[in-house]
């Protein structure tokens, strides 16, 4: 029930925003909107308000806005009249705007949601000690007397243990000057630092230590007795420089026995683990990578408005990039249709995200919105990208393509899209319901 509800909410939000983009853009350039549909034909119910009929249709794979004088998802063969409010009567730039507005709105929605999540929750970072790896000699930290290797323990009397805690504490102070207390060879030292924000830029963050934050049940690390809080110090006899060094070594050893040495409360422990295998992306190819089932110790750093917007844009880009990568891998044979998910898959993952919590569900909606936006821009008949191809070809040849030709191409595109959806829905059924 949760999966169904979350799927309805996700598709409703994403589709409404996408089609609303088309709707507003069409109105702005003077195109008459004949219908606004959630779902593809046939129509189930509808109500006409003004010049537009608002509908719910039978195939819940998206939606469409029917612009006057345009062959689209509605597959209408209504003849063109040349009226000024028809799509084909508009300039090339106006057509482009009306077609791409839905995709743009999906990206904007994803960016807004990711930005809101970042402002509310901050960004996750691997927990790192509040130690100055290096100090800029021309900046406030050096002027205050801080040296490389010093461990910061207090900001204005408030204890700090990690880099994120130090950043969050300084950023929460409205004043520019703060008292910084640090340890050097067990000796406590302090100074008043002017321009506290500059202080953060004058010291370099150390490498994140290989501290275990979580252990996946049933995985090799769990079987070996590794626990959250342990510090990984060696892999196959070689010391690790930090979390990323340790992770890269494990990645390079799939389905292999490795010796892992860790420290727990001063006691050194070790075990031989047989790594599990996972698919990882390297040089635009999926390769086998090793894993032992551990996660880093994470914490959250507060962000301001500018950084939150920047992060929101980055997350939107990465969400869209995952779709580009999936299409590339499908084209090159690195992935198959079985690796894609359809409505059942979206329902499953949306339900899982809702069970995790509100923030995870909002993040999932943002991810789906970015992906739907990108998929719609593909040059496939029925999709927005297919319409872009039509109007671009017409702009080049300086004459309209026959409506009959467009209709046939759209019908073929719709049939292929439905076939694709049937295949991936069958795969979803086998993957999620029949186990």
pLDDT at 27: 92
Which helix (DSSP H) or strand (DSSP E) does residue 409 occupy? helix 403-428
pLDDT for res 214: 95
Residue 167 to residue 164: CA distance in whole angstroms: 5
Q: What predicted TM-score, i.e. pTM, was given to this entire model?
A: 0.80
What does the radius of gyration of the chain's CA atoms come to, in whole angstroms? 28
Asked if residues 379 and 389 have their Cβ atoms less than 8 Å apart, the reply is yes
**Structure-token pair, residue 192:** 């008043």
Distance (Å) of CA 276 to CA 219, 235, 246, 259: 8, 15, 15, 14
User: What is the distance between the alpha carbons of residues 151 and 399, in angstroms, rounded to a whole number?
Assistant: 72
End-to-end CA distance of the chain: give it in Å, rounded: 19
Which among 431, 418, 410 is positioned nearest to 77, based on CA atoms?
410
What element of type H or E holds 228? none
Tens-digit pLDDT profile for the chain (435 aa)? Answer: 788 888 888 988 998 999 999 999 999 999 999 989 888 778 899 999 988 999 888 876 667 888 887 766 555 556 666 688 888 888 899 999 999 999 999 999 999 999 999 999 999 889 999 998 888 876 777 777 888 999 999 999 999 999 999 988 888 876 678 889 999 998 999 988 877 777 877 888 888 999 999 999 999 999 999 999 999 999 999 999 999 999 999 999 999 999 999 999 999 999 999 999 987 766 666 678 999 999 999 998 888 899 999 999 999 999 988 888 888 877 777 777 777 777 778 888 888 999 999 999 999 999 999 999 998 898 888 888 988 998 899 889 988 888 788 788 888 888 888 888 888 888 878 777 665
Map out the domains of the chain with their CATH numbers.
2-121+363-427 (no CATH), 126-204 (2.30.42.10), 212-291 (2.30.42.10)
For 265, counting Cβ atoms within 10 Å of its Cβ (0-12 exposed, 13-18 middle, 19+ buried), the class is exposed
């Amino acid at each position: 029930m949760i999966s169904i509800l979350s799927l309805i909410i996700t598709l409703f939000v994403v589709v409404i925003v996408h089609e609303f983009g088309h709707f507003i853009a069409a109105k702005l350039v003077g195109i008459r909107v004949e219908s606004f549909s959630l779902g593809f034909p046939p129509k189930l119910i509808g109500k006409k308000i003004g010049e537009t009929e608002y509908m719910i249709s039978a195939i819940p794979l998206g939606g469409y806005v029917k612009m006057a004088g345009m062959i689209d998802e509605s597959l209408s063969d209504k003849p063109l009249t040349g009226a000024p409010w028809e799509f084909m009567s508009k300039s090339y730039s106006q057509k482009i705007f009306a077609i791409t507005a839905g995709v743009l709105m999906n990206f904007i929605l994803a960016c807004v949601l990711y930005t809101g999540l970042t402002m509310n929750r901050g960004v996750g970072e691997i927990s790192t000690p509040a130690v100055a790896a290096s100090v800029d000699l021309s900046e406030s930290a050096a002027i205050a007397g801080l040296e490389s290797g010093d461990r910061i323990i207090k900001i204005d009397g408030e204890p700090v243990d990690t880099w994120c805690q130090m950043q969050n504490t300084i950023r929460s102070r409205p004043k520019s000057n703060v008292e910084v207390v640090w340890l050097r060879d067990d000796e406590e030292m302090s100074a008043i630092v002017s321009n506290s924000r500059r202080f953060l830029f004058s010291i370099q963050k150390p490498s994140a230590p290989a501290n275990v934050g979580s252990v996946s049940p049933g995985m090799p690390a769990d079987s070996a007795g590794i626990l959250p809080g342990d510090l990984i110090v060696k892999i196959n006899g070689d010391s690790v420089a930090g979390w990323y060094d340790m992770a890269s070594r494990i990645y390079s050893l799939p389905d292999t026995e490795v010796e892992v040495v860790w420290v727990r409360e001063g006691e050194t422990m070790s075990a031989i683990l047989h790594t599990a295998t996972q698919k990882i992306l390297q040089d635009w190819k999926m390769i086998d990578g090793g894993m032992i089932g551990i996660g880093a110790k994470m914490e959250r750093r507060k962000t301001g408005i500018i950084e939150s917007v920047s992060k929101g844009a980055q997350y939107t880009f990465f969400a869209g990039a995952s779709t580009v990568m999936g299409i590339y891998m499908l084209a090159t044979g690195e992935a198959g249709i079985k690796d894609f998910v359809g409505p059942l898959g979206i329902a499953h993952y949306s339900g899982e995200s809702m069970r995790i919590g509100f923030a995870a569900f909002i993040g999932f909606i943002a991810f789906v919105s970015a992906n739907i936006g990108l998929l719609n821009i593909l040059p496939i008949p029925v999709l927005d990208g297919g319409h872009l191809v039509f109007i671009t070809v017409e702009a080049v040849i300086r004459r309209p393509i026959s409506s009959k030709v467009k209709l046939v191409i759209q019908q073929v595109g719709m049939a292929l899209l439905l076939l694709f959806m049937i295949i991936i829905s069958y795969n979803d059924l086998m993957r999620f319901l029949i186990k």
